[in-house]
Amino acid sequence: MSQRPLFIPPTVTPPGRPLGVLASVKAVRKNVLNIIPAISYTQPIVTGTTGPARWHMVQGPEGLRRIFLDNVENYPKSEVMIRMLRPAVGASLFTADGARWRWQRRAIAPVFAARNVASLAPMMTRTAERAAERVASAGSGPVEMVREMLSATFDVICEVALSGREHIDPEAYAAAITRYFLTAGRASLLDFLEVPQWIPRPGNILAMGSVRTMHGMVARAIEARRREGPHVPDDLLDYMIRAEDPETGRQMSDEDLLHNMQFFIVAGHETTALALSWSLFLLANDPEAQARAQAEAEGVLAGRAAGAADLERMPYVTQVIDEAMRLYPPVAFLARNVLAADRLYDRDIRPGETVFLNIHALHRHKLYWQEPDAFDPEHFAAAAVTGRDRYLYLPFGAGPRVCVGANFAMMQAGIILATLLARFSFAPAGAAPRPIMHMTVRPDPGVELFVQPIGARAAAAG
C-alpha cells in the first residue's frame, strides 16, 4: 500500500447498534447505508431483528461465496427488492428466477461476449470524444460531472441497445429514473412490518408516471424495430427479438422485450456513470494520484481519444476505477430470501429470514483491507490483487448471476476516464458530496469540479 498521506473521502457514520423498526424506516428512506451498524466493519456476519423479522448481514467472503455460488438456489432475491424493481423492469433478467431467468440469460449473454464487446469499442471512443468536447465547452465555472457522465454513458448504451437515441429523450428519461428511485426505490414501513407484497406501497403508486415515461419511449423503439426489421450490425434489441429458448422454442413477447430493454438501459449507463463520477471526485482530491493517472493517459494517448487496445497500457487508470467502486460500489446492499435451513459461520439461517449482502461493509472491512476508508489505487496493483480472495471485491456480484455486462462496463469506463485525464486536470469545487443509496450509491448533491485543459495548465505554469 502507499506510504504517502492518503485522501479519506466522505462516507456514512454507522449507528453503534442495529436500529429498531421506526428508526430503520426513517434511516432507509434517507439513505440505505445508514442502517449498516458499526460492528459490520469488524465481523463477517451480524444478526438482528427488526420488528417480527430476523435478519443477517453478511460481509465476509466465505459467507458471500456460499450465497452467491455454493448454495445460490437457496437465496433468491428478496420480495421487497423485487417489489421495488418490478414496476420498471417486470420479470426481466434482473428480477426473474429459475427457468425464466436461465433462458433469458442464455439469450442475452452473447451480445456481451468478449468479441462483441471489443467490436463496440469504437462507439465508446466516439462517445468519449463527445464527452471531452462537452466538458471543454463548459466554460470556467464548476462542471457537474454526474450529469456529464450520465450523458456520456447514455450515449453508449443507446447505441448498443437501440442503435441510437431516435426514440429516447435523454433528459426526460434521466428525470424519470431519478423520480423512480426516490419513490418505488425506497423501502416502506409496510416492508418492515412484513405486510404482504400484494398490498400496494405508496412509493409504487407515486412511481407510475415515471414508469409510463420510460416504458413509452422504449415501447416506441421496439414497435419501430418490429416494423423496420433488424439492423446491421446487430444491436441488443435485435438479439432479444431473435432470442429463442433452446428447450421450448419460446421467444420474448413485447412485454419481455420492454422489461429487459428497460433494465439494460437503466443499469447499463447509471452504474458506469456513477463509477466515473466517483473516480473523478477522488482524483480531484488526490493531486498525486491524479498526476500519475494523467501522465499514464497522456503518454499512451498523445491527445487522441482512448480505444480498447490502449487500456492494457494504462493499468493505473483501471486501478482508479476499481478503487472508486471499492469505496462506492454502485449497488452496495442487496437482499435475499432464505428458502431452506442453512448455516453461515456460527449462525443457523432459518427459512423465511432475510439475508443482506453487505457489499459496502465488505469493501471497507477492517479485517480484510489496509486503510479501508482511504482512497488508494494501490489496493488494486498487481501485487496486491495476486492471491486475494475473489469474494473480497464484488462490484458486479458473483456466481451464476454475476453482471452480464461487467466487461462492457469496465471497458466503457476506462475509455472515457482515460480520454478525460489525457486532456484535463480536475480540482474540487464546493463541498464534498455524501454517498446516498436508494437503488444505487449516488453522490449527493453531485460532483462539482473545476476543469482545466492540460495545455492551459502548462501555459500558466510557464
- Residue 202 in 3-state DSSP? helix
Whether residue 330 contacts residue 275, with contact meaning beta carbons closer than 8 Å, is answered with yes
- Type of residue numbered 273: A
Reported pTM: 0.90
pLDDT at 43 over 90: yes
Residue 173, pLDDT score: 85
pLDDT tens for 336-349 read 999 999 999 999 99
Residue 462, pLDDT score: 46
Whether the CA torsion 41, 42, 47, 49 is positive or negative: it is negative
pLDDT at 204 over 90: no
For the chain, percent of residues with pLDDT exceeding 90: 48
Residue 67, pLDDT score: 97
pLDDT at 189 over 50: no
Average pLDDT over residues 433-444: 91
Q: Is 447 among the domain residues? A: yes
Partners of 335 in the β-ladder: 356
Residue 184, pLDDT score: 63
Q: Is 124 among the domain residues? A: yes
Q: Is 9 among the domain residues? A: no
pLDDT tens for 273-293 read 999 999 999 999 999 999 999
Average pLDDT over residues 330-359: 94
158 is in an annotated binding site: no
Q: Is 283 among the domain residues? A: yes
Residue 461, pLDDT score: 45
Average pLDDT over residues 155-176: 80
Total tally of structural domains belonging to the chain = 1
pLDDT at 216 over 70: yes
pLDDT at 139 over 70: yes
* Cβ partners under 8 Å of residue 279, min gap 6: 320, 321, 324, 413, 417
Q: Is 2 among the domain residues? A: no
pLDDT at 33 over 70: yes
Query: Looking at per-residue confidence, does 439 or 232 come out higher?
Result: 439
Average pLDDT over residues 241-256: 79
pLDDT tens for 74-92 read 999 887 777 777 777 777 8
Characterise 441 by phi-psi region: left (phi > 0), alpha (psi -120 to 50), beta (else). beta
Domain CATH number, residue 154? 1.10.630.10
pLDDT tens for 304-315 read 999 999 999 999
pLDDT at 141 over 90: no
Residue 23, pLDDT score: 74
d(CA 159, CA 236): 9
Query: Looking at per-residue confidence, does 12 or 393 come out higher?
Result: 393
Q: Is 1 among the domain residues? A: no
**In this structure, what C-alpha cell is assigned to residue 202?**
405508496
Residue 188, pLDDT score: 54
Average pLDDT over residues 157-164: 78
Average pLDDT over residues 381-401: 94
Q: Which pLDDT band, with edges at 50, 70 and 90, does 394 fall under?
A: very high
Query: Strands 424-428, 448-453: parallel, antiparallel or unpaired by DSSP?
Result: antiparallel
Q: What are phi and psi of 64, to 5 degrees?
A: -65, -35
pLDDT at 328 over 90: yes
**In this structure, what C-alpha cell is assigned to residue 107?**
439469450
Residue 196, pLDDT score: 59
Q: What are phi and psi of 347, to 5 degrees?
A: -110, 135
Q: Which pLDDT band, with edges at 50, 70 and 90, does 14 fall under?
A: confident
Residue 199, pLDDT score: 57
pLDDT at 186 over 70: no
Please give the residue range of the domain that contains residue 395: 21-461
Q: Is 397 among the domain residues? A: yes
For the chain, percent of residues with pLDDT exceeding 70: 91
pLDDT at 405 over 60: yes
Residue 202, pLDDT score: 64
Residue 458, pLDDT score: 46
Query: Looking at per-residue confidence, does 404 or 133 come out higher?
Result: 133
Distances (CA, A) of 182 to 19, 28, 31, 258: 22, 11, 11, 22
Query: Looking at per-residue confidence, does 141 or 186 come out higher?
Result: 141
Q: Is 311 among the domain residues? A: yes
